[in-house]
Amino acid sequence: MSLARTESIEEIKTRNKDLIQEVLTVYPEKTAKRRAKHLNVHEAGKADCGVKSNLKSIPGVMTIRGCAYAGSKGVVWGPIKDMIHISHGPVGCGQYSWGSRRNYYAGTTGIDTFVTLQFTSDFQEKDIVFGGDKKLVKLIDELQELFPLNNGITIQSECPIGLIGDDIEAVSKAKSKEYGGKTIVPVRCEGFRGVSQSLGHHIANDAVRDWVFDRLTPEKSRFESTPYDVAIIGDYNIGGDAWSSRILLEEMGLRVIAQWSGDGSLAELEATPKAKLNILHCYRSMNYISRHMEEKFGIPWCEYNFFGPSKIAESLRKIAGYFDDSIKEGAERVIAKYQPLVDAVVAKYRPRLEGKTVMLFVGGLRPRHVIGAYEDLGMEVVGTGYEFGHNDDYQRTAQHYVKDGTLIYDDVNGYEFERFVEKMQPDLVGSGIKEKYVFQKMGVPFRQMHSWDYSGPYHGYDGFPIFARDMDMAINSPVWRKTKAPWKAALEPRLMAAE
């Protein structure tokens, strides 16, 4: 049993506040002052979590954040499967993001689908000196020749592109014209822009607006719309999440005309302005384009959360609320259909997980979205924070998800996270690959909450049993009883408490 449960809420708050003060002591004064604004203990009833967010990371502190390129190429554009995404600049960015995000898709890779290929202009010194536009022109010709079935191209700018002043917009326009109006999208997502992945999402959204929506022609969105057309926005199909979500929407009578952007295609992006409702899973990365479609095309949007049965049912009803009774009945039918599965999962896993505590640190939606799923299993989230959340994410977190006394840490760095976990002794940490092995070495069970550790899907009713199984497997793995050599275990009572 974790230590947190043996204390009163006031004791927990005091302990968490002390803990924050304690980690701040390691910093030089200027840094301590800046970091103090990002750490807090949540007070029930407050409108937000009381932390600053979306500010520059401090140099030298081992931030967990990535960059604008990661936000655009890795999240918004990269998983659009029938387009070729050029990592424009030196070789590294494309290489490190190659196939690592598990954005599942169906297609013939290398022929009509391209997500798990690494296309790069592989900048050399001469490209830096003389500029890369000519190379880009030639590169697009070569792409057309070798991959004639690509449905479009994006140019994902790496750091040097903006610094040396390449005009990728001009290249895009000229080549598009040359290839009969082909969609060629320049994306100014150079890694130095903004403070995290977040600006990359925004820039990528704007590129959809300017280079896809603003160039729509009647023949591009030719299908007959129905009153039940929706688009799934902001589900990247990690381990197939968008599919286990889509199946529920279809079962309740809706027609999913687009998935952004896991298993997504350019045609689906182009069809989205015909949707009756945009439903938004990752608010942070795609709210911009959803708001744009609301303003320009009058399409309403709503957020939903398909982690765990409580939030799934709530979300299905919320989505159905935008439609007529047939859909509302459809939602109830779907909820009822899967209730026996939910009951069986909870009956099986809740006894194994009841009372276990979790600390989270993830990207833009999961620090709050997964809390409901943990609670469905009787678990408690005692600390959470965002890599690149904004103030409105922390508002949503405070108002709908976290409990009184929860430790909140924005843009937590390696040092702080380790100290927090060491002191709070959660039963599980959910974060990313860079954090995983740190905590496992400490003997703390861990699940990757960006990529589900090569498991999934976690979304929807088909995802919930996998989520439950994975948390049980992580926490109750017999390996955690072996972390201390028996001749050493007796000497360290702290680790006894973690049993």
Partner 1 sequence: MAQNAEHVLDHVELFRGPEYQQMLANKKKMFENARDPAEVERIREWSKTPEYREKNFAREALTINPAKACQPLGAVFASVGFEGTLPFVHGSQGCVAYYRSHLSRHFKEPSSCVSSSMTEDAAVFGGLNNMTDGLANSYNMYKPKMIAVSTTCMAEVIGDDLNAFIKTSKEKGSVPQDFDVPFAHTPAFVGSHITGYDNALKGILEHFWDGKAGTAPKLERAPNEKINFIGGFDGYTVGNTREIKRIFDLMDVQYTILADNSDVFDTPTDGEFRMYDGGTTLEDAANAVHAKATISAQQWCTEKTLAFIAGHGQEVLAFNHPVGVSATDDLLMALARITGKEIPEALARERGRLVDAMADSSAHIHGKKFAIYGDPDLCYGLAAFLLELGAEPIHVLSTNGNKAWHDKMQALFASSPFGQNCHAYPGRDLWHMRSLLFTEPVDFLIGNTHGKYLERDTGTPLIRIGFPIFDRHHHHRSPLWGYQGGMNVLVKILDKIFDEIDRKTSVAGTDYSFDIIR
- Active-site residues, by number, are 67, 70, 101, 201
Q: Which residue has the tokens 């798990």?
A: 116
- Which of 208, 266, 316, 365 binds partner 1 (CB under 8 A)? It is 266
Cβ-based neighbours of 173, under 8 Å, separated by 6 or more: 184
Of the candidates 244, 248, 297, 295, the residue with the CA atom closest to the CA atom of residue 275: 297
Q: Which stretch binds partner 1 (CB under 8 A): 45-53, 158-166, 209-217, 307-315?
A: 158-166
- Which of 14, 63, 395, 399 binds partner 1 (CB under 8 A)? It is 63
Q: Work out how close the CB of 413 gets to partner 1 at its nearest, in angstroms, rounded to a whole number.
A: 8
Measured CA to CA, the distance from residue 10 to residue 41 in angstroms comes to 11
Q: Would you say 363 or 405 has its CB closer to partner 1? A: 363
User: Contacts with partner 1 in 106-125 (CB under 8 A)?
Assistant: 106, 108-112, 116-125
Site membership for partner 1, residue 296 (CB under 8 A): no
Site membership for partner 1, residue 66 (CB under 8 A): yes
Q: How would you label 290-327 residue by residue, b for 16+ Cβ within 10 Å and e otherwise?
A: bebbeeeeebebebbbbbbbebbbbbbebbbebbeeeb
Q: Work out how close the CB of 195 gets to partner 1 at its nearest, in angstroms, rounded to a whole number.
A: 6
> What residue ranges in 44-137 does DSSP mark as E strands?
83-88, 119-120
User: Contacts with partner 1 in 346-365 (CB under 8 A)?
Assistant: 347-349
Q: Would you say 9 or 496 has its CB closer to partner 1? A: 496
Give the neighbor-by-neighbor strand order of the sheet with 277-280: 255-261, 229-235, 277-280, 301-303
Task: State the DSSP string of 257-273.
Answer: EEEEETTB-HHHHHHGG
Q: Would you say 237 or 406 has its CB closer to partner 1? A: 237
Q: Which stretch binds partner 1 (CB under 8 A): 172-180, 305-313, 317-325, 434-442?
A: 434-442
Q: Work out how close the CB of 424 gets to partner 1 at its nearest, in angstroms, rounded to a whole number.
A: 15
183 touches 212 (CB < 8 A): yes
Q: Which stretch binds partner 1 (CB under 8 A): 6-14, 140-148, 302-310, 320-328?
A: 140-148
Site membership for partner 1, residue 138 (CB under 8 A): yes
- Which of 75, 143, 185, 449 binds partner 1 (CB under 8 A)? It is 143
Site membership for partner 1, residue 258 (CB under 8 A): yes
Of the candidates 83, 71, 388, the residue with the CA atom closest to the CA atom of residue 234: 71
Site membership for partner 1, residue 455 (CB under 8 A): yes
> What residue ranges in 326-415 does DSSP mark as E strands?
357-360, 380-384, 407-409
User: Contacts with partner 1 in 162-201 (CB under 8 A)?
Assistant: 162-164, 191-195, 197
- The pairing of strands 407-409 and 301-303 is unpaired
Site membership for partner 1, residue 430 (CB under 8 A): no
